[in-house]
Amino acid sequence: MTPAASPAALPRCDRPVLVTGAAGFVGSHLCERLIERGHTVIALDDFSTGHADHLKALRRHTRLQFVRHDIAQPLPEGLPACGAIFNLACPASPAHYQRHPVATMLTSTVGTWRLLELARGSGAVFLQASTSEVYGDPQVHPQHESYWGHANPIGPRSCYDEGKRAAEALCYAYQREHGLSVRVARLFNCYGPRLRPGDGRVVSNFIVQALAGRPLTVYGDGRQTRSFCYVSDTVRALLALMDSDWSQPVNIGNPAEHTVLELADRVRALTGSDSPLVFRPLPADDPVRRRPDIGTARSVLHWRPEVALDEGLALTIEYLRERAEPTLAVLHADWHAAPELVRGRTLQAVNRQD
Ligand SMILES: NC(=O)c1ccc[n+]([C@@H]2O[C@H](COP(=O)([O-])OP(=O)(O)OC[C@H]3O[C@@H](n4cnc5c(N)ncnc54)[C@H](O)[C@@H]3O)[C@@H](O)[C@H]2O)c1
């Protein structure tokens, strides 16, 4: 691949920055960092898997405007011309996206297309939050950006994996045809405060189960590996990528590889739980190994993860300890309401914070 340079976005960005998926886990942390850096932020979300509470700290901030909208629907009139767009809108947990595969696919394809058009119209730099899932169940370890992947185009995860692959292809189609400045961040498992209990991600599942004294559910034999990147490290990398002039895909993740069994042991130790493990069949197309090659991020962005797993887990446990049970109830209520949000062609600028 030939790296194509395009102008760095954020340092010269005096126009608003649009963040989609802003009420989600990663998006809300990103909005906070952008506000800290002095940007004006348009935070857009349809609340299908995110929650308004995640943006609570910014609710009264004069430089944050919230727009409630589904990106798969025509974008609202009157969005200010943005200098940079971070497209994070998409359910990330398998439990969520597998329940709404059509909406997931449309979010990554039609939604991304709408935002790319917006970027083209306003001359914004466009960053797509992609995923390690573009590598599917990889046959090459660790995964380097040059690997094309081993994804099942018709399996239960395909709405997410292929949607994200299509979104990447769309980004580069816009770069080739329209000269758009694009950034593609391939995120590997990210964890931290604001992970929602019960959404099926392994870190929050284990913590919530351990705190409740329930058995920890391990899928397969638990020897499959994952790498876990703390959310502040992930957000720092997203900002560094937008700040850079690098327009090829970049892996963002922690290269330390852990088996799911090791993670279960760490969570039990850090929560002081003696919960037993229960084993369930491995879901279809669940990747066996997952580990990023972060050589590009190291050399181009001068980035590497800094938060050790035990430190990040302790912060996540603290967060979930306070919220586990009430949030679990809200999550189920929200998720059942989500199809209304996804289908409802409403725009509600619920909050102009100034
Ligand atoms: N967290 C991870 O480990 C991880 C790993 C790989 C990739 N990613 C990507 O990063 C992004 C953020 O992930 P996350 O973990 O914060 O997930 P999340 O589910 O917490 O956040 C996604 C946000 O997008 C919103 N959203 C979903 N569909 C939308 C639509 N059509 N229109 C508007 N808003 C919509 C949701 O309400 C939610 O607030 C996603 O694009 C995800 O695919 C995350």
Interval 192-236: pLDDT, tens: 999 998 788 999 999 999 999 999 999 999 999 999 999 999 999
CA angle 56, 58, 60 (to 5 degrees): 100
Residue 242 CA to residue 238 CA, distance in Å, equals 6
Average pLDDT over residues 157-181: 98
Q: What does the mean pLDDT of the chain come to?
A: 89
Ligand 1 binding pocket includes 252 (Cβ within 6 Å): no
Q: Which of 18, 20, 26, 316 to mutate to test the pocket of ligand 1 (most atoms within 8 A of CB)?
A: 26
Ligand 1 binding pocket includes 229 (Cβ within 6 Å): no
Ligand 1 binding pocket includes 40 (Cβ within 6 Å): no
One of 1.10.630.10, 3.40.462.10, 3.40.50.720, 3.20.20.70 is the CATH number of 17-190+229-252, namely 3.40.50.720
- Which contiguous run of DSSP H or E holds residue 94? helix 94-99
Is 3's pLDDT higher than 90?
no
Contact 231, 26 (CB under 8 A): yes
Interval 100-147: pLDDT, tens: 999 999 999 999 999 999 999 999 999 999 999 999 999 999 999 999
Residue 231 CA to residue 137 CA, distance in Å, equals 24
Distance of CA 283 to the CA centre of its chain: 21
Q: pTM to 2 decimals?
A: 0.90
Residue 75 CA to residue 135 CA, distance in Å, equals 30
Q: Which of the pair, 178 or 95, is modelled with greater confidence?
A: 178
Among protein residues, the one whose CA lies closest to atom 42 of ligand 1: 92
Residue 257 CA to residue 234 CA, distance in Å, equals 16
Confidence band for 334, pLDDT divided at 50, 70 and 90: very low
Q: Which of 160, 174, 191, 230 is catalytic?
A: 160
Among protein residues, the one whose CA lies closest to atom 28 of ligand 1: 90
Domain boundaries defined on the chain: 17-190+229-252
- Residue among 207, 220, 225 at smallest CA distance from 310: 207
- In the chain, the percentage of residues whose pLDDT exceeds 90 is 81
Clarify whether 230 is annotated catalytic: no
